[in-house]
Structure 1
Amino acid sequence: MTPRTPEEQLAALQAVYPTPEVVALQLDRELAALEETIRAAAPHWSTRMPGRDWTPAQEAEHAILVNEGTGKLVRLLLSDRPLREAPQQPGQTENGKRLAPPGTEPGAGEALDTLLTRHAAASALLAGVRADPNPDRTFFHPFMGKIDALDWLRMATWHTRHHRKAIQAGLDHLNAGERAEM
């Protein structure tokens, strides 16, 4: 998915994940699949993946950081608590590639068990959450503008899938290299 404008990006997410039920089902599946992929990455946990800037540990940490924040934000958007204005800093790109927004950049690489624990906690915040469209309760997203809880869940589903697939592709390449050396 590489639509250029925030409206195109949002429309693409809404087409892929059209209903709250589909979003909830797909997000639960992606969270479970990410855990499996994280576990499978253990032998290459700190190895920079071919074609990527990050190791599996860093890729997983970034996905988890986004899911932690999204889980908390979605719960806020679904509550009656007041929303406060926050800085609306647009996301940055480099060579056509999105950069991780501030606060979602991974560190040098956390331990596998630590990230599995954090992933389980983030998954608990997101699992089974159902949100209906609500244009009156929105929060700014760096690449999509102001979006509601349902669209934040759509974004989390797509984002989790994107990074899970990136880790898996990196592992496939690294494992193929190991087989070729045998």
Structure 2
Amino acid sequence: MMDLDAYYERLDRQEAEMVELARSIPEHRAPEGAEGRWSPVQELEHVCLLEGLVWHLLQRGTETRAGVPELFGDAKLEKLLVQGRQYKIVAPEIVQPKGSLTTVDAFIDRFQQQRTQLKEDLSSGRIRPDDRTYRHPILGELTMIDWLHFMVQHTQRHLLALRESLHLSTPIA
């Protein structure tokens, strides 16, 4: 069973950190990407696209079950996604930036709206954190709980990448 209150607190802390980091991006740097890298705004858009995709996936029904609440768990996903950031993965086309978010403010609005909707759907039971599974294109089968952890760890990966690209070594707050 997933402790939803603890998960909400984690989402809120990460949301505040991401919003503060996004607001710290100098306006002239937001649309610029280094050679072969996404711009800060593109990276932010990718985070929104991925979180939106996971949200939709979690709302759909599936009959496939793992028989255990987590196949990976939060700690393993953190090791793979955050600690293993030196391994670059090409994002699937569906979550590559398309230019739908062009400003930091647009990102903040959408990111906060998505996080609020996720928490509402978890609280109401429209999304059930359980052992139902969906396949990740690289990691394989993930339970609904794993997907919730994946979303947080993926966003954490990009928080760190943005800090690096902006030459910020520590959290802003």
TM band (smaller chain): 0.5 to 0.7
- Offset of residue 46 of structure 1: 1.2
1:83 maps to which of 62, 69, 83: 62
In the alignment of these two chains, the number of paired residues is 140
Cα deviations by residue, 1:59-78 (Å, 9 ceiling, x for unpaired): 100011111111222233xx
The answer to whether the 8 A contact 1:72-1:125 is kept is no
Relative to 1, partners in 2 of residues 1:71 and 1:32: Cα closer, same or farther, differing over 3 Å?
A: farther
Q: RMSD in angstroms over aligned alpha carbons?
A: 3.0
Compute the TM-score of the two structures, normalised by the length of structure 2: 0.67
- Offset of residue 83 of structure 1: 3.1
Cα deviations by residue, 1:70-94 (Å, 9 ceiling, x for unpaired): 1222233xxxxx4389xxxxxxxxx
| Alignment-mate amino acid for residue 105 of structure 1 | Q
Find the counterpart in structure 2 of residue 159 from structure 1.
154
Relative to 1, partners in 2 of residues 1:147 and 1:116: Cα closer, same or farther, differing over 3 Å?
A: same
2:32 maps to which of 44, 47, 65: 47
Cα deviations by residue, 1:108-147 (Å, 9 ceiling, x for unpaired): 5622222222112211133374787633x21111122121
Describe how 1:29-178 pairs up with structure 2 within 5 A.
29-43=13-27, 44-49=29-34, 53-76=37-60, 82-83=61-62, 96-108=87-99, 110-127=102-119, 129=122, 134-135=130-131, 137-172=132-167
Mapped to 2, the partners of 1:31 and 1:75 lie a distance apart of: 21
Q: Secondary structure at the match of 1:67?
A: helix
Higher alpha-carbon Rg = 1
- Offset of residue 96 of structure 1: 4.7
Mapped to 2, the partners of 1:123 and 1:133 lie a distance apart of: 16
The answer to whether the 8 A contact 2:31-2:102 is kept is no
Mapped to 2, the partners of 1:144 and 1:25 lie a distance apart of: 26
Q: Which ranges in structure 2 are unaligned for 5 or more consecutive residues? A: 65-85, 169-173
Q: Which ranges in structure 1 are unaligned for 5 or more consecutive residues? A: 1-18, 77-81, 86-94, 174-182
**58-67 or 105-114: which moved more?**
105-114
The answer to whether the 8 A contact 1:70-1:156 is kept is yes
Relative to 1, partners in 2 of residues 1:100 and 1:23: Cα closer, same or farther, differing over 3 Å?
A: same
**138-147 or 19-28: which moved more?**
19-28
- Offset of residue 20 of structure 1: 3.7
Compute the TM-score of the two structures, normalised by the length of structure 1: 0.64
- Offset of residue 156 of structure 1: 0.6
- Offset of residue 150 of structure 1: 0.8
- Offset of residue 154 of structure 1: 0.4
